[in-house]
């Protein structure tokens, strides 16, 4: 049981690295670009979490296994990209699995370092969504968490289950399994059924070209 958090963390690192590398392959990046994306997607959330709770240097920097797992996943994806890309839902499934694993390990590590339950839940979410946000920003895309179906909410649910189980002093293994299954299932069902949070509606969409024309004044005939 002492090795469970590390095993989950490395597993999450691997699946998120696959997600990042696949995104890079689809954007036709070179090998270096794919490896950068695989490391960023796999470790940015954990690095952010560790810095916020005062773990310096962060685990992803201090432990070579995080770098090794990330690069291994990136190399596999790069050289076998044609096979992996043909799996139409693989990127989203890897991303959902990584989200669940990181949300659970993030909340668990925050609790282990003495954070209060509310902030442990928040850091669990940050751990889960951080890598995906950095991946999307590097690809010049709107982060998935800001536009996708119940992304951060699924991470919050998993982190909350871990924290509640800790507060009730329930066995760690069953609580972990329930949290992982809840997050993964919620994310997958949200993707299939299109569940999402409400989106703001505006009457007139912003048009930069119209503003430029108005700034020049009316045209002369």
Quick one: average pLDDT of 43-50? 93
Q: Distance between CA 43 and CA 58 in Å, rounded?
A: 10
The proportion of the chain whose per-residue pLDDT surpasses 90, expressed as a percent, equals 49
Q: Annotate 77-91 with b (16+ C-beta within 10 A) or e (fewer).
A: bbeebeebeeeeebb
**Higher pLDDT among residues 213 and 199, named by residue:** 199
State the Cα angle at 91 between 68 and 146, rounded to 5°.
105
CA-to-CA dists, residue 91 to 71, 85, 119, angstroms:
17, 8, 29
DSSP codes, 163-197: HHHHHTT--HHHHHHHHHHHHHHHHHHHHHHT---
Q: Which residue has the tokens 């946000």?
A: 133
Q: Where are the domains of the chain?
A: 4-196
Predicted pLDDT of residue 200: 74
State the Cα angle at 168 between 164 and 171, rounded to 5°.
95
Mean pLDDT of the chain: 85
Model pLDDT for residues 61-78, shown as the tens digit of each residue: 999 999 999 999 999 989
| Residue 117, C-beta contacts closer than 8 angstroms, at least 6 positions apart | 111, 163, 166, 167
Q: Distance between CA 210 and CA 208 in Å, rounded?
A: 5
Q: Which segment, 82-86, 91-95, 131-135, is predicted with the most confidence on average?
A: 131-135
Model pLDDT for residues 145-166, shown as the tens digit of each residue: 888 778 889 999 999 999 999 9
Report residue 1's pLDDT band, with 50, 70 and 90 as the boundaries.
very low
Model pLDDT for residues 16-41, shown as the tens digit of each residue: 898 889 889 888 899 999 999 999 99
Predicted pLDDT of residue 65: 93
Let me know: does 20 contact 102? Beta carbons within 8 Å.
no
Model confidence at 189: pLDDT above 80:
yes
| Residue 173, C-beta contacts closer than 8 angstroms, at least 6 positions apart | 1, 4
Closest CA to 186 of 221, 162, 158: 158
Lowest mean pLDDT among 110-119, 188-197, 205-214: 205-214
Quick one: average pLDDT of 184-201? 85
Please give the model's pTM, rounded to 2 decimal places: 0.79
Q: Annotate 5-32 with b (16+ C-beta within 10 A) or e (fewer).
A: beebbbbbbbbbbbbbbbbbbeeebeee
Q: Which residue has the tokens 């989106």?
A: 199
Model confidence at 133: pLDDT above 80:
yes
Q: Is 31 helix (H, G, I), strand (E, B) or coil?
A: helix
């Amino acid at each position: 049981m002492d090795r469970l958090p590390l095993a989950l963390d490395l597993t999450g690192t691997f699946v998120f690295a696959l997600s990042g590398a696949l995104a890079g392959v689809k954007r036709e990046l070179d090998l270096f670009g794919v490896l950068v994306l695989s490391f960023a997607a796999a470790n940015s959330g954990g690095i952010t979490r560790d810095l916020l709770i005062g773990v310096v240097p962060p685990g992803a920097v201090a432990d070579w296994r995080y770098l090794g797992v990330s690069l291994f996943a990136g190399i596999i994806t790069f050289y076998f990209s044609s096979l992996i890309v043909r799996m139409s839902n693989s990127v989203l499934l890897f991303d959902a699995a990584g989200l669940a694993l990181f949300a659970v390990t993030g909340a668990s590590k925050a609790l282990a370092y003495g954070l209060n339950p509310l902030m442990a839940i928040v850091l669990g979410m940050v751990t889960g969504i951080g890598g995906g946000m950095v991946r999307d920003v590097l690809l010049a895309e709107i982060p998935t968490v800001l536009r996708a179906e119940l992304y951060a909410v699924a991470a919050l649910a998993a982190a909350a289950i871990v924290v509640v189980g800790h507060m009730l002093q329930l066995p760690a293994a069953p609580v972990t399994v329930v949290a992982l299954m809840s997050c993964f299932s919620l994310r997958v069902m949200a993707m299939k059924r299109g569940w999402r949070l409400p989106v703001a509606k505006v009457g007139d969409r912003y048009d930069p070209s119209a503003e430029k024309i108005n700034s020049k004044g009316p045209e002369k005939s």
